[in-house]
Amino acid sequence: MATQPDTAAYILELLEGTGETRVRAMFGEYALYLDDKVLGFICDDTLFLKDTSGARALIDSPETGPAYPGSKPYLIGAALLDDPEHLRAVARAIWQDLPMPKPKKPRKRR
- Break the chain into its structural domains and give their ranges: 5-97
CATH 3.30.1460 assigned to domain 5-97? The reply is yes
Q: Smallest Cα–Cα separation from 81: which of 4, 1, 9, 5?
A: 9
pLDDT class of 102 with cuts at 50, 70, 90: confident
Residues 57-72 have pLDDT tens digits of 999 999 999 998 899 9
Q: Smallest Cα–Cα separation from 91: which of 46, 52, 60, 43?
A: 52
pTM score of the predicted model: 0.89
Say what the pLDDT of residue 50 is: 97
DSSP class of residue 2 equals: P
